[in-house]
């Protein structure tokens, strides 16, 4: 009778152990998720700006020097967390930061930037999510570094920090540091 319960209990314990390891004990770091875009031409951004709806915004405007693309939204908790970090990053770099307001309420996004500050050199809108799909974004915030030649050279998943900027982005901005 005891063996009848012992085998299923043991199986559940082993299964629980695998799940626990996968969730807590493994070496999984979502910020290390590579993008299939790394080393490839960045998808085109073709949209309008948030504040001046109707004014075109394209990624071609930024070619010739490296630039950053950050997907964010006012509905995103991690985006609120990273916002002061982007304000600090914007003060220490001349690399253009392009914000893509992803599936968001335009007045709420304008109010957010007015209240919290605007670290972006340009803010485009992605109402239908097509730009995010082209870039392989599956959750905000996600940030990409694009070379002067228009090639994606780095992807950061999750809230950006000044530390991550200095460790993962700045070295790639140095000559020959793109790969």
Residue of 160, 169, 139 lying closest to 67 (CA atoms): 169
The pLDDT of residue 30 is above 60 = no
The pLDDT of residue 40 is above 60 = yes
Token pair in block for residue 155: 């992807």
Percentage of residues of the chain with pLDDT beyond 70: 79
Distance CA(142)–CA(167), nearest Å, equals: 16
pLDDT value for 95: 97
Give the residue-averaged pLDDT of 118-126.
96
Range(s) of the domain holding residue 100? 31-173
Indicate whether 138 belongs to any domain: yes
Integer CA distances (angstroms), 34 to 17, 29, 153, 159, in order: 27, 11, 10, 16
pLDDT value for 18: 61
Indicate whether 22 belongs to any domain: no
pLDDT value for 150: 95
Domain with residue 102: its CATH number is 3.40.30.10
Indicate whether 53 belongs to any domain: yes
Query: At a CB cut-off of 8 Å and minimum separation 6, what does 123 contact?
Result: 49, 50, 51, 57, 98, 99, 100, 101, 109, 113
Lowest-pLDDT choice from 28-32, 82-86, 102-106, 111-115: 28-32
Indicate whether 16 belongs to any domain: no
Counting the structural domains of the chain, the total is 1
Indicate whether 24 belongs to any domain: no
């Amino acid at each position: 009778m005891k063996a009848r319960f012992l085998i299923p209990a043991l199986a559940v314990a082993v299964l629980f152990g695998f799940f626990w390891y996968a969730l807590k004990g493994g070496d999984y770091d979502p910020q290390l998720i590579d993008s299939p875009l790394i080393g490839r031409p960045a998808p085109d951004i073709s949209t309008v700006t948030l504040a001046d709806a109707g004014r075109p915004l394209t990624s071609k405007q930024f070619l010739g020097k490296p630039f950053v693309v950050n997907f964010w939204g006012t509905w995103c908790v991690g985006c609120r967390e990273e916002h002061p970090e982007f304000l600090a990053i914007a003060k220490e770099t001349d690399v253009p930061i392009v914000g893509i307001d992803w599936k968001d309420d335009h007045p709420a996004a304008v109010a957010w930037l007015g209240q919290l500050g605007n670290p972006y050199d340009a803010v485009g809108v992605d109402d239908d999510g097509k730009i995010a799909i082209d870039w392989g974004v599956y959750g905000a915030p996600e940030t990409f570094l694009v070379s002067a030649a228009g090639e994606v050279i780095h992807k950061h998943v999750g809230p950006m920090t000044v530390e991550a900027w200095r460790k993962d982005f700045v070295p790639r901005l140095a000559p020959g540091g793109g790969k």
